[in-house]
Structure 1
Amino acid sequence: MIAPETIAAVLIAAGALVAAVLLLIRRQGWQAWLLAALSLASGLLLYLTLFPPRLPIGGETLLVATAETPAGVRAEPGERLVALPEAPTIAGAERVPDLATALRRHGQIQRIRILGRGLPPRDRDADAGLPVEFAPMPVPRGLVRLEPPADTPAGAVFALAGQASGLEGGAAELLDPAGRRVDGRTIGADGSFTLGGTARAAGLARFTLRLRGRDRAIVSDTPVPLRTLAEQPFRVLLIGAPSPEAKYLRRWAEDSGIDLQSRLDAGGGVDLAGDRARLNAANLRDVDAVIIDDQALLAMGSGGRSTLAQAVAGGLGVVVRMTGPATAATRESWRALGLSVEAGSDIAPVVLPPLAPDAEALAFQRGPGSDDVPEGVNAFDDPAPDLGHWMVRTGADFVTAVTDADGAVLAGWQQRGQGRTALWTVANSFALILNGQDDRYQQWWSEAISAVARPGGLFRPEVPPLPLAGERMAICGLTGAAQVLGADGTANTLVIDPAAGAKGCAAYWPSAEGSHTIEQSGRGGKQTYDFLVLPRGALKAITARETGEATARWAAEQNAPNMRGVPERRGPAWPYFLAWLLLSGALWFAERRWRTVSDQPG
């Protein structure tokens, strides 16, 4: 449908243009051109009288006070000051529950200026529709980034990463639940650090990340949750020839609680294996991983490798252990399992990092020793063993699982169907045990096996890594009726959001810090999952940095060209009507006089 403004513009323009052309036809000269121009101007003023230009409604700036806004801030003429719930007490500020309420109350606002740390997530969910100005405050001193450790199997090494602001030359320390120092690092110029330790008993533990300044004074203590998994024992097949590596792999499996069955070819047709170690489809369906050396894989023949490859596609994990330089035939046998690498005929030394930053941290990682081991054996100062690894070239699909201190690949895997095939390149890793580094040997093999083993069926819903008391969080991965038991034992039923679909997500607001438990009914009965809720303010510096960065991004989006315009209304028509009336009268008088003069005889 054609707008009235368009119809009026066409009619007025046509009339003014016809009048101007008739004037120029009847007479030439500058007077005629002047009258024609006045006719067009009269038509324009008539259109502006009928449809005055649109003007913005109001012109006020909304000052939005957020957390850490100075208490002495005041609104200037043309500004209106509102305070969000996070803002301190400010004289003259109007308290509002959120930004949307302030915008609804004050429709004349033309722009927004945010003061303080920035808007919380509640106020960044929707567009404001107005230009927004925001200058982030400096990053506060303290912990500004924290990546807590992932769920860790018992006996494995965990790691956390973080970044501190304003603490160059200070220290980051990791304390165990008993308050003993596990690891420590000096904070450099960029503030980044990485700490780690060994996961012990299964369950949820509360470690502490302590930051110290250059003067060794404590700046902050931040709780760090660590969940140690008590998974069912891995079922592993060990295939190869009798060797020191096979001997210590069996000992490692026994110490780690792994259900290991071995099939060792002693030569001369002697096969040291039980019925459960036979490589057939039925047995392979019952195990989580297979460790096989390259020569045993090559000797299996195409039929045996085909059976193993089918099991990998169905979810089985395989670790191929190199016992010598790779040949074209061995690489071809690897490709049958989905492992594509090149080279592997040259060997290079393995660069080993220190076991721990100091003897105290090493003692904690190893735990209590036995009575028959003297104190001087396997001490912190003992030299590292000489190890070598076969140098292979990998592609983009190869995922590294174990590296040395220089980043060289010691073990890695590739996906095949639902399973994974890994390559172990260390020629003599058992030398670690002979030199007192049992911890490193166990860690390497634990990481390699965990990377490829068939996935388990534990109840492990998705929760935020660092939930805070009093803040909304989402719990996903729920498949049925579930509830959360708070730290005080209070039960809260979780309502799954239908919009989440297959993700199975529900909202939860923890009211108190401490250990919380998610309970869900499953096939095998009640399933539980523990998570730690941190106290309010535990991540104050992190929250401040994230809030400032998120608000700056949100403000930039509000200033984008595609944002909706400022509310407008029609301006007053009387100035244009008065100008049109005067101009039309002058035009009528001038045209009449011009005709009178032109009609007189010469």
Structure 2
Amino acid sequence: MPGPEMLASALIAVAAVSAAVRFALLRRGWQGWLAAGLSLASGLLLWLTLFPPMLPVGGETLLVATAETPADTRAGAGERLVALPEAPAIAGAERVPDLATALRRHGQVQTIRILGRGLPPRDRDTAAGVPVQFRPLPDLRGLVRLDPPADTPAGAVFALGGEAAGLAGGMAELLDPAGRRVDVRVIGEEGSFTLGAVARAPGLARFTLRLRGADKAIVSDTPVPLRTLEQPPVRVALIGAPSPEAKYLRRWAEDAGIDLSSRLDAGGGVSLGEGVRLDTAALRELDVVIIDDAALASLGGGGRAVLAEALAGGLGVVIRMAAPASGATRQSWRGLGLAVEGGSAIEPVALPPLAPDAETLALRRGPGSADQPEGLNTFDDPVPDLGRWDVRGGVDLVAAVSDADGALIAGWQQRGQGRVMLWTVPNSYALVLGGEGDRYAQWWSQALSAVARPEGGFRPEVPPLPRTGERMAVCGLSSPAQVSAPNGTRHDLVVDPAAGARGCAALWPAEPGVHVITTPARGQAPAQSFALLVLPRAALAGIAARETGAETLRWAMAQTRPAASDRPEQRGAAWPFFLGWLLASGALWLIERRLRARGSSFPQAGG
């Protein structure tokens, strides 16, 4: 059975349409058409008077004050102002512990507008359920992005990147733990910079990133953690023919503390070195094999198959190009998992300066030996002339060493658990002869670090820049662990079962400094420890401000308006429609009266 609303709608519609048709057909002219239109409008207004449209309850806009909201902020008409704990004191604002509490208290809110710097992570975990408006504030002057250095083996070069706002023309300096400047860069208009130095003593060190304005005044000093890895000597086998390259590789390996054995075939059955065997058992005891292209070809299919099997098990292989690559040569490389093209033409190597100035170069090199002549290998020495074989790889070829123009010096591809690398510079030893032994050591250190067999150890996953007062996840925990704060207090790290195989636990550091994560001894496995540097939150204020703004904007854009049925609604006011119905009915009555008075051609109602 139809409801009252549907029944009334049908009766009103029939009456209004009938009257409109009667006026339009029985009396032509504009007055008849006007009367017909007024009949339809009168019927519609009568229906709206009886059944006003449904309107959402409330309709307020919630103003949410966060950090750096102006203290003179006031709510306007239809607005309600609340202040989160991070917001300053604002007259008339209702203090709430979080955004969820504000939404529970004010269910009539239809729109949210975020003021200030943005929402902390606490308030971005859940959806708001209503549209959100937010405009990020400009970056704070100073450091707004920092890419800290990755864990670096001792003796290798590390790099860090960053971005500064409002410091164009200023300088970015890197200070070592002793406070000495080891690198410096001028900050350009875009604000980005990259700094680097040599990682020396193993352990966790605290470098300092110093930013200066264009007037050379210090703007900020930011601690930068660097973890220098103490690894057992890398076990390397050098295979090929006697050459200057092999000579200087042996010398560098000895200086770097690498456990190097070699087999250099001088021809005529004469072999120099320790006589390295390339069988399965011997390769299992090695971390890296450096072999030139001719020696690799002389191994034959069986020898290369044994090398490929060891490579898939985790061994690193470096193929050193000493001659142009032929089709057969490239095919033998593919058997090891290395797919490249070209390699028959020599291209010059572009070498950037080792340091921006002589002082920085001296600091990077550290104290020299007593027998080193003064003025040897100085900053003003000419750049050595080097060439590289022009090879081209696909997307799977990862560059480990590149020149100043981005051209490939050494690149690797994955093969099972191991990596195979191609070294394209046949005369890299010329760097040593040309006074750039530091660069020679840096290149080969980067190459071997990229392909060496991975070592086991306790190295949990932690954020690159942990800060005080922020929750962080510590992953990679396979057993119970504890964390020791700088003040000596210890806390258990409880692994979250929902993290699954990742083994993650939550840590909320309350003070800056070095925190140590330890795992107890289990069976034959000894106790292990891992140190991380927690930075003071104030030191990364500019970075935190940018991250907060960006994440809040992303969260705000993800909020959508829910369906209308999900909102509380009620009938709107009927009196505006009733007033309109009276006016339309009165005008219709006057027009009909006037038409009746003009002549008998207008029929009487009902007859």
Measured after TM superposition, the shift of residue 78 of structure 1 is 2.8
Q: Which residue is equivalent to 1:352? A: 351
**Secondary structure of residue in 2 paired with 1:537:** helix
Q: CA deviation at 1:525?
A: 1.8
Moved more, 126-135 or 317-326: 126-135
Q: Is the 8 A contact 1:129 1:566 kept in 2?
A: no
The CA distance in 1 between the partners of 2:12 and 2:228, in whole Å, is: 86
248-257 vs 534-543, which moves further:
248-257
Q: Please report the TM-score for the alignment, with normalisation by the length of structure 1.
A: 0.89
State the alpha-carbon separation in 1 of the partners of residues 19 and 357 from structure 2.
102
Q: How does 1:148-547 map to 2 (within 5 A)?
A: 148-272=148-272, 274=274, 277-521=276-520, 524-547=525-548
CA contact (8 A) 1:242 1:264 kept: yes
Which range moves more in the overlay, 197-206 or 407-416?
Answer: 407-416
Instruction: Flag the 1:80–1:304 CA change in 2: closer, same or farther, 3 A.
Output: same
Quote the offset at 1:191 in angstroms. Answer: 0.9
Tell me how far apart the structure 1 counterparts of residues 284 and 457 of structure 2 sit (CA, whole Å). Answer: 19
Uncovered stretches (5+) of structure 2, i.e. residues with no partner: 593-602
Could you tell me whether the CA contact under 8 Å between 2:5 and 2:51 is conserved in 1?
Answer: no
TM-score by length of 2: 0.89
Q: Which runs of structure 2 are paired with 1:34-113 in the superposition (5 Å)?
A: 52-113=52-113
Structure 1 residue 252 displacement after superposition: 1.8
Looking at structure 2, the residues matched to 78 and 292 of structure 1 have their Cα atoms a distance apart, in angstroms, of 77
Deviation of 1:448 (Å): 0.9
1:376-413 alpha-carbon deviations (Å, 9 max, x no partner): 22222222222211111222221111111121111101
**Matches for 1:126-165 after TM superposition, within 5 Å:** 126-165=126-165
RMSD: 3.3
**Pairwise CA distance, 1:551:** 2.0
Please tell me whether the aligned partners of residues 474 and 508 of structure 1 are also in contact (alpha carbons under 8 angstroms).
Answer: yes
List alignment gaps of at least 5 residues for structure 1: 591-595
Q: CA deviation at 1:129?
A: 2.1
Following TM superposition, by how much is the alpha carbon of 1:364 offset from its aligned partner in structure 2, in angstroms? 2.0
Residues 356 and 362 in structure 1, CA contact (< 8 A), matched pair in contact too: yes
- 1:323-374 deviation digits (Å, cap 9, x = unpaired): 1111222212111111111221111222211111222222222222211112
Change (3 A) 1:110 1:420: same
Whichever residue aligns with residue 551 of structure 1, its letter is: T
Cα 1:357–1:580 shift into 2, 3 Å: closer
Contact kept in structure 1, 2:12 and 2:47, CA below 8 Å:
no
Deviation at 1:140, TM superposition (A): 1.4
Percent of counterpart pairs with the same letter? Answer: 67
Give secondary structure in 1 for the equivalent of 2:190. Answer: coil
Q: Deviations over 1:453-485 (max 9, x none)?
A: 222212111111111111111111111211111
448 and 24 in structure 1: CA distance in 2 versus 1, 3 angstrom threshold: closer
The residue aligned with 2:596 is none
Task: Give the Cα–Cα distance (whole angstroms) in 2 for the partners of residues 469 and 71 of structure 1.
Answer: 27
Q: Whole-Å Cα distance in 2 between the matches of residues 545 and 94 of structure 1?
A: 26
Q: Is the 8 A contact 1:130 1:565 kept in 2?
A: no
What letter corresponds to residue 322 of structure 2 in structure 1? T
Paired AA for residue 69 in structure 2: T
Distance in 2 of aligned mates of 1:49 and 1:173: 75
Shift of 1:234: 1.6
Equivalent-residue separation in structure 1 for 2:125 and 2:279 (angstroms): 56
Q: What are the Cα deviations for residues 13-36 of structure 1, in whole angstroms up to 9, with x where unaligned?
A: 555667789999999847999999
Match of 1:593 in 2: none
SS at 1:539 equivalent: helix
Paired residues of 1:8 and 1:47 also in contact (CA < 8 A):
no
SS at structure 1 position matched to 2:102: helix
Contact residue 130 and residue 563 of structure 1 kept, 8 A = no
Aligned 1:9-28 pairs, distance under 5 A: 12=8
Does the CA contact (< 8 Å) of 1:472 and 1:507 recur in 2? yes
Contact 2:131–2:561 (CA<8 Å) still a contact in 1?
A: no
